[in-house]
Chains A and B, each alone.
Chain A
Amino acid sequence: MEPTELERVARQIRLRDLQAVYEAGAGHIGGEMSVIDILTALYFRVLRVWPDQPRHPERDRFVLSKGHTACALYVALAKRGFIPEEEISTFLQPHSRLNGHPNNNKVPGVETNTGPLGHGLPVAVGMAKAAKLSGAKYHTYVVTGDGEMQEGSNWEAIMAAAQFGLDNLTLVIDHNRFQQGAALADTNDLAPLRPKLEAFGWDVTEINGNAMSEIVPALEHRGSRPHCIVAHTNKGHGISFMQDRVDWHHKVPSKEQYDLAVAELSEAI
């Protein structure tokens, strides 16, 4: 898929995600809007995956470490054919397999269970190391939040990945500058991320993480070291009144706000 086509799919995913959060009355909409362009590029262009064989040994591995944005992942998985699109309406309903954080025992396409922050990257390092050991050709991608990078486990994994020479691993940091309760700058500011990752022996690319034309080449980059994409994004991207507002980390739109958001996203289509 070409970037303009990907942009169209991303807008559809945004709309479906917004509707699901609104109807369920819960979700993490800000971080979903920031990461949806990256998810779209992965599932509709970059990842070698086969929805009818979700455990195919040669599939590329993808881990959404910021598991609180599960709803966006579910919509992407549904659009890509891993689960029925109608099932999105069961999000958070009693006994639904679509709970607030992805469950790999129930949802095809989910590789490992995330939700507690700081788990996805170490697991991704293991996946990439396994490919090295077996000679498998798959590539491993992992997306973390920027607040999530405050967890020490990530930095342990970053060191291990460099030591193991994992050129088959790509970490995307969704750098939307906000965490749950405040801006990173007012909590525990990790910026600038690039020199930190470089100092730990990684290749680093900085991009506009809401621009398809920059996301795709960055994800397709191959080098000789583990690769980190610092994706500068906007929390709440695409919905004007949510953008860069910390309270939209997990707020749910009112009916009026919902209609307004639908109108804005539809206009863009």
Chain B
Amino acid sequence: MNAPVTATKLHDCRDAFAATLEKLAANDDSIVAVCNDSVGSSKLGGFKSRFPDRLVNVGIAEQNMVGVGAGLANGGRLPFVCGASPFLTGRALEQIKADIAYSNANVKLVGISSGMAYGELGPTHHSIEDFAWTRALPNLPVIAPCDRIETAAAVEWAAGYDGPCFLRLSRVGVPDLLPADHKFELGKANLLREGSDVTLIANGTLTHRMMKAAEILGSQGISARVLNMATVRPIDEEAIVAAARETGAIVTAEEHTIFGGLGSAVAEVIVEHAPVPMKRLGVPGIFAPTGSAEFLLDEFGMRPASIAEAALAVIKRK
């Protein structure tokens, strides 16, 4: 269980998304992909050549894209609506609320290059508010896979799930963390590393950084539990309460503002059920300076060594 992270090769989870979608589409004619001039950035080139009639590219028009997705679902199609996450969620939030979540349209929203994946393109292109925006909506599971295995599993799950959901993907490379036969379960955290002194909770591009932080802590005699919490809503209350009770300290990290994201969701559970010292790592409520995603994560205190330091500080507050 507590073996170090050995996989070092990094993978772009968009490839797993695209391959899985194509595999599913080959067996299910109802699957369509909807995009906003984002065939390349959503890695839909393969889908387009295999199923040209089932790629609906509305042009640069995200509000229209989401509305069209809802209509396609109403007409019996199974739409995967894919676009850069800042524009999909930010631009079309009201469509997501009214046409998708409230109308219970069976649409799979796929936010590509979320978080700070667009790096130097700056705050307009950073999607570090999308957890907060989407998790405020009823009837919309919010999922951020941590590696290509979980991405593929979540896409398979989404296709079979009867209702809307939001998959939040990145393009920043991550190593394999979950076993190859991993099955995605909505609202269930994965225990990646057992520990008793502190629990590190993350998802998306931060989970592997948490694993490395846990190794650093281990080398200093601190036993850190690591939970991969892909589902931000509905959040796994049981795993969080158990972590609080059994380890007494919690650190969260996310490629998102600390206002309203994973850390906030975890804090809500802890405050109500098992208050313990906690630290939320993420973007500290500012528009980020110029820099790549990796640079900015380091800059905002999410280097594995910095995470380990934050964990030590929380443990001291017990």
Taken residue by residue from 47 to 65, chain B's Cβ proximity to chain A (1 for < 8 Å, 0 otherwise) reads as: 0000000000111110110
Q: Which residue in A24, A103, A150 is a CB contact (below 8 Å) of B60?
A: A150
A98 within 8 A of B: yes
- What is the CA–CA distance of A92 and B91 in the complex, to the nearest angstrom? 25
Query: Once the chains bind, are B64 and A152 in contact (CB under 8 Å)?
Result: yes
Residues in chain B near residue A118, CB distance under 8 A: 60
A59 within 8 A of B: no
Query: Once the chains bind, are B59 and A188 in contact (CB under 8 Å)?
Result: yes
Query: Once the chains bind, are B124 and A114 in contact (CB under 8 Å)?
Result: yes
- What is the CA–CA distance of A181 and B61 in the complex, to the nearest angstrom? 14
User: Chain B's nearest CB lies how many Å from the CB of A202?
Assistant: 21
Taken residue by residue from 267 to 292, chain B's Cβ proximity to chain A (1 for < 8 Å, 0 otherwise) reads as: 00000000000000000000001111
A182 within 8 A of B: yes
B173 within 8 A of A: no
Query: Once the chains bind, are A99 and B290 in contact (CB under 8 Å)?
Result: yes
B191 within 8 A of A: no
B190 within 8 A of A: no
User: Chain A's nearest CB lies how many Å from the CB of B176?
Assistant: 28
Query: Once the chains bind, are B37 and A182 in contact (CB under 8 Å)?
Result: yes
User: Chain B's nearest CB lies how many Å from the CB of A114?
Assistant: 7
Query: Once the chains bind, are A180 and B290 in contact (CB under 8 Å)?
Result: no
Query: Once the chains bind, are A187 and B121 in contact (CB under 8 Å)?
Result: no
User: Chain B's nearest CB lies how many Å from the CB of A149?
Assistant: 8
Interface hits, A107-156 → B, CB 8 Å: 113-118, 147-148, 150-152
Interface size class of B (residues with CB under 8 A): 20 to 34
B266 within 8 A of A: no
- What is the CA–CA distance of A260 and B37 in the complex, to the nearest angstrom? 30
A192 within 8 A of B: no
Taken residue by residue from 287 to 310, chain B's Cβ proximity to chain A (1 for < 8 Å, 0 otherwise) reads as: 001111001000000000000000
Query: Once the chains bind, are B122 and A115 in contact (CB under 8 Å)?
Result: yes
Residues in chain A near residue B115, CB distance under 8 A: none
Q: Which residue in A26, A67, A187 is a CB contact (below 8 Å) of B59?
A: A187
Taken residue by residue from 85 to 105, chain A's Cβ proximity to chain B (1 for < 8 Å, 0 otherwise) reads as: 000000011111111110100
B212 within 8 A of A: no
Known: A92-B290, A95-B290, A188-B61. A180 touches B124 (CB 8 A): no
Interface hits, B36-76 → A, CB 8 Å: 37-41, 57-61, 63-64
With both beta carbons as reference points, the residue of chain B lying nearest to A67 in the complex is identified as: B124
User: Chain A's nearest CB lies how many Å from the CB of B239?
Assistant: 36
Q: Which residue in B37, B90, B122, B292 is a CB contact (below 8 Å) of A181?
A: B37
- What is the CA–CA distance of A15 and B37 in the complex, to the nearest angstrom? 29
B87 within 8 A of A: yes
A69 within 8 A of B: no
With both beta carbons as reference points, the residue of chain B lying nearest to A145 in the complex is identified as: B60
- What is the CA–CA distance of A60 and B63 in the complex, to the nearest angstrom? 32
Residues in chain A near residue B145, CB distance under 8 A: none
B125 within 8 A of A: yes
Consensus secondary structure, chain B interface = loop
Query: Once the chains bind, are B38 and A99 in contact (CB under 8 Å)?
Result: no
- What is the CA–CA distance of A150 and B87 in the complex, to the nearest angstrom? 14
Q: Which residue in A95, A113, A115, A150 is a CB contact (below 8 Å) of B61?
A: A150
Known: A99-B121, A181-B38, A187-B37. A116 touches B91 (CB 8 A): yes
- What is the CA–CA distance of A151 and B63 in the complex, to the nearest angstrom? 8
With both beta carbons as reference points, the residue of chain A lying nearest to B39 in the complex is identified as: A181
Q: Which residue in B60, B64, B91, B123 is a CB contact (below 8 Å) of A179?
A: B60
Query: Once the chains bind, are B291 and A101 in contact (CB under 8 Å)?
Result: no
- What is the CA–CA distance of A99 and B296 in the complex, to the nearest angstrom? 13
User: Chain B's nearest CB lies how many Å from the CB of A145?
Assistant: 8
With both beta carbons as reference points, the residue of chain B lying nearest to A115 in the complex is identified as: B124
- What is the CA–CA distance of A187 and B64 in the complex, to the nearest angstrom? 14
Query: Once the chains bind, are A92 and B120 in contact (CB under 8 Å)?
Result: yes
User: Chain A's nearest CB lies how many Å from the CB of B238?
Assistant: 39
Residues in chain A near residue B248, CB distance under 8 A: none
Query: Once the chains bind, are A180 and B37 in contact (CB under 8 Å)?
Result: yes
Residues in chain A near residue B263, CB distance under 8 A: none
Known: A95-B291, A96-B290, A187-B37. A115 touches B60 (CB 8 A): no
- What is the CA–CA distance of A143 and B41 in the complex, to the nearest angstrom? 25
B86 within 8 A of A: yes
User: Chain A's nearest CB lies how many Å from the CB of B216?
Assistant: 25
Known: A95-B290, A181-B37. A115 touches B121 (CB 8 A): yes
With both beta carbons as reference points, the residue of chain A lying nearest to B87 in the complex is identified as: A116
Query: Once the chains bind, are A116 and B124 in contact (CB under 8 Å)?
Result: yes
Q: Which residue in B39, B40, B61, B290 is a CB contact (below 8 Å) of A93?
A: B290
21 residue pairs A–B, Cβ–Cβ below 8 Å: A92-B290, A95-B289, A100-B118, A100-B121, A101-B121, A101-B122, A113-B124, A115-B125, A117-B60, A118-B60, A147-B37, A150-B58, A151-B60, A152-B61, A152-B63, A180-B38, A180-B40, A180-B41, A182-B39, A188-B57, A188-B60
| 10 pairs of A and B residues whose beta carbons are closest in the complex | A188-B59, A115-B124, A100-B121, A150-B59, A99-B122, A99-B290, A92-B120, A150-B60, A94-B291, A181-B39
